[in-house]
Amino acid sequence: MNRHVYQHVAPEELHGHVLRGSLLAGRTKVQSFEIAELGHYGRALLLEGCVQSTEHDEHIYHESLVLPAQAYSPRISSVLCLGGANGGTLKQLLKLPHLERVRLLDIDPELHEISKRLLPHMHGDTLLDPRVEIAFGDVFTLVSALVDTGACFDLVVADLPDATAGCYATSLFSAEFYDTVLRLLTRHGIYVTQAGQAHVLYSRFLNRTLRTLGGSFAHVIPYTITVPSYGCPWAFALASAGVDFSAVSPEAMARRIAQLPEAALASYDHETHLHMFHLPKALRLALAEDVPPLTLDQPETVQIAAQPP
């Protein structure tokens, strides 16, 4: 009989997968993990029992996280990636037409080595690209140290794990962290982050993330996409001090998206972009609720948690 894995997508709502087999499970110094075969999603990475990526739909998440910034930027040549050492994000970043360098910062070198061996579809040959540099350590500390060097980037991508209770990622959704990131961006620089569930009945984390970004950046815009293995629509946000997203013309966006290698894109294109940035009315109403910003002293956690068998 097949086992199942279940995780919350809201406090009283579960999403489940058939677990066809487990290749490796354990714990690094940072987190518990499992590399498993999930239903018709193929090989998958689970952290703390929750699905992070699957072989057959990771492209939806990673293309949606990385590529929409291309539509709003005059030129992305330098990128800082926060998290993502388990693969997926670099594949998409290397598709940006003007990219010259990528610096990736991650907290878990052990899981990175495991993913290279057991999740080769996530990495491809990205780690051989001379434009890529990877460093490991506490991400908040590494970002603060970069500020002190005077480094600047056209795009900062936050490919972070879910901000669950006890997870290091909660600090990376705080006002203090966003103020630090702002100092790393060029004049037309853009910050993009995953922002939790786009669940119309459970949108508080997303709402607080947007309010917090708005305290540091002059311009913030949310967008969503359905990642089937997650069990509910997922949210992202773009933020910038110098790019007014609403002022970028449709013609400019279409022209910039057309510069991406269409044959290499599995889910993102101009039509998908337009769909992602038109939020349904119910979600827009939910996000109109006045909520406090996220701080190191007042974090918010998402209800993405594994259900014990």
- Provide the β-strand partners of residue 230: none
Range 3-54 classified under CATH 2.30.140.10 = yes
Q: Is the pLDDT of residue 121 over 60?
A: yes
The residue type at 182: L
In tens, the pLDDT along 84-118 reads 999 999 999 999 999 999 999 999 999 999 999 99
Fold for 58-294, please state it: Rossmann fold (3.40.50)
Torsion of CA 168, 214, 229, 301, to 10 degrees: 40
Predicted local distance difference test score (pLDDT) of residue 1: 61
Token pair 């670099």: residue: 90
What mean pLDDT comes out for the span 61-65? 98
> pLDDT confidence of 9, banded at 50, 70, 90?
confident
How does pLDDT run across 153-195, given as a tens digit for each residue? 999 999 998 887 778 888 999 999 999 999 999 999 999 999 9
Q: For residue 248, which phi and psi values (nearest 5 degrees)? A: -75, 125
Q: Return d(Cα 37, Cα 32) in angstroms, integer.
A: 17
Domain residue ranges in the chain: 3-54, 58-294
Residue 304 has pLDDT above 80, yes or no: no
Q: What is the pLDDT of residues 211-241, one digit of tens each?
A: 999 999 999 999 999 999 999 999 999 999 9
Please give the average per-residue pLDDT across 34-50, as a whole number. 94
Task: Look at residue 2 in the predicted model and tell me its pLDDT.
Answer: 72
Closest by CA to 305, choosing from 205, 226, 211, 221, is: 205
Report the C-alpha gap between 220 and 189 in whole angstroms: 12
Q: Which pLDDT band, with edges at 50, 70 and 90, does 303 fall under?
A: low
Of 57, 106, 159, 162, the active-site residue reads: 159
Angle at 121 between CA 99 and CA 160, to 5 degrees: 65
Q: Which of 222, 79, 50 is nearest to 157 (CA)?
A: 79
SS3 15: strand
Q: pLDDT for 266-302, tens place per residue?
A: 999 999 999 999 999 999 999 999 999 999 999 887 7
pLDDT at 71 > cutoff 50: yes
- The confidence score (pLDDT) of residue 161 equals 84
Residue in the structure block whose two tokens are 């598709």: 95
- pLDDT at residue 308, as a whole number: 53
Examine the residue annotation and report whether 159 is marked as an active-site residue of this protein: yes
Does the pLDDT value for residue 23 go beyond 80?
yes
Confidence (pLDDT) at 3: 84
Q: How confident is the model at residue 309 (pLDDT cuts 50, 70, 90)?
A: very low
Share of the chain above pLDDT 70, in %: 97
How far is it, in rounded angstroms, from Cα 156 to Cα 146?
A: 12
Distance of alpha carbon 90 from alpha carbon 29, whole angstroms = 24
Give 292-309 as a 3 state SS string.
Answer: CCCCCCCCCCCCCCEECC
